Structure 1
Amino acid sequence: MLRRLTLTAVASFAALSAATPAATAVTPVLPLPPLPVLQGDWVGGRDTATRLTVTVSESGNPTADGTFELQCDPAGGTHPAAQRACDLLAEAAESGDNPFVPTDRNAMCTQQAGGPAAARVQGTWQGENIDARFSRANGCEISRWNNLVPVLPSAR
């Protein structure tokens, strides 16, 4: 019985192997359609454009609270200080700093309170997806926030 199954499997495999080249020889090769032109600042296959959504609450400045769009190259969107914010992000990119990296969990931070201000930044910066949260809960977070002004507003 096992021998019969083995012979059937070998015969089936041989038949399929022989049929495959014949089937492909008859089928004409069709050219692929042209690819669409890719848009954006593509360097090495990565979109390096900056497109961020900045949401701020309880900053102490009612005109700074809300959701703002920031686009760079050229600077635009609904962000109130788009050009200055884009300049700051360009300087960070040139120096190799990522201002969106969270504070190290093991960092020694002063236990000072900087107020209830909170912010979230989402989008794309230097070809990387960004989803960063900011607060003023302690000295490290206050410093992190202040280093991102004017992307984030000056909190009072």
Structure 2
Amino acid sequence: MLRRLVLASLVTSAAGAGALGPLPPLPLLSSPSDALTVTISKSGHRSADGTFRLECGDKAGGDHPAATGACTRLAEHAEAGADPFAPVAKDRICSLQHGGDAVARITGEWRGRTVDARFSRADGCEIERWDNLTPVLPRLSHVRG
């Protein structure tokens, strides 16, 4: 909503001042309410397990150990029009590899919508989904076959 008001104000100002040319695109900023709780367990890495708060607004915040990188990664997903929290499609064929027992849950609000997503490393698709969200989720390289 704020973005629309700013854009409308700029258009009105530009129209009154004469032909200034096209307006530059507005950056894809997170809203001030982008706040997520990331809970990781069974990662096999004591420093990775825990519950962390991630806030992405004008600047990265919270106690997430990689807040700046995590907010940057989420912004990349937004710019690509991707939903980083979407589950694996039920009809997708996934490799039968086990990437460890790690599980994660991300809750909160992102881009104006409620998030409640679960992640694991139970098969190739879930491993890919987890890795695609690094550093929001910790990089876990161990794979057990």
- TM-score by length of structure 1 reads 0.70
Structure 1 residue 51 corresponds to structure 2 residue 35: yes
**Where does residue 118 of structure 1 map in the other structure?**
103
Structure 1 residue 50: Cα displacement: 1.4
CA-CA distance at 1:146 after TM superposition = 0.2
Question: Which 4+ residue blocks in structure 1 deviate beyond 2 angstroms?
Answer: 41-45
Task: Output the amino acid matched with 2:118.
Answer: R
Q: Deviations over 1:35-74 (max 9, x none)?
A: xxxxxx84469x9331000000011211010000000121
Structure exhibiting the larger radius of gyration computed from Cα positions: 1
Which stretches in structure 1 are left out of the alignment for 5+ residues? Answer: 1-40
Q: Percent identity?
A: 53
Pick one of 67, 71, 75 that aligns with 2:51: 67
RMSD over equivalenced CA pairs, Å = 1.7
Unpaired runs of at least 5, structure 2: 6-29
Q: Which amino acid is the alignment partner of residue 130 of structure 1?
A: V
State how 1:1-156 maps to structure 2 within 5 Å: 42-43=2-3, 48=31, 49-73=33-57, 74-155=59-140, 156=142
Distance in structure 2 (CA, Å) of the matches to 1:102 and 1:150:
18
Deviation by residue 1:97-147 (Cα, 9 ceiling, x = unmatched): 111000011110001000100000000111110000000000000000000
Question: Aligned AA for 2:42?
Answer: E
What SS does structure 1 have at the residue aligned with 2:104?
strand
Task: Indicate the SS of the match to 1:85.
Answer: helix
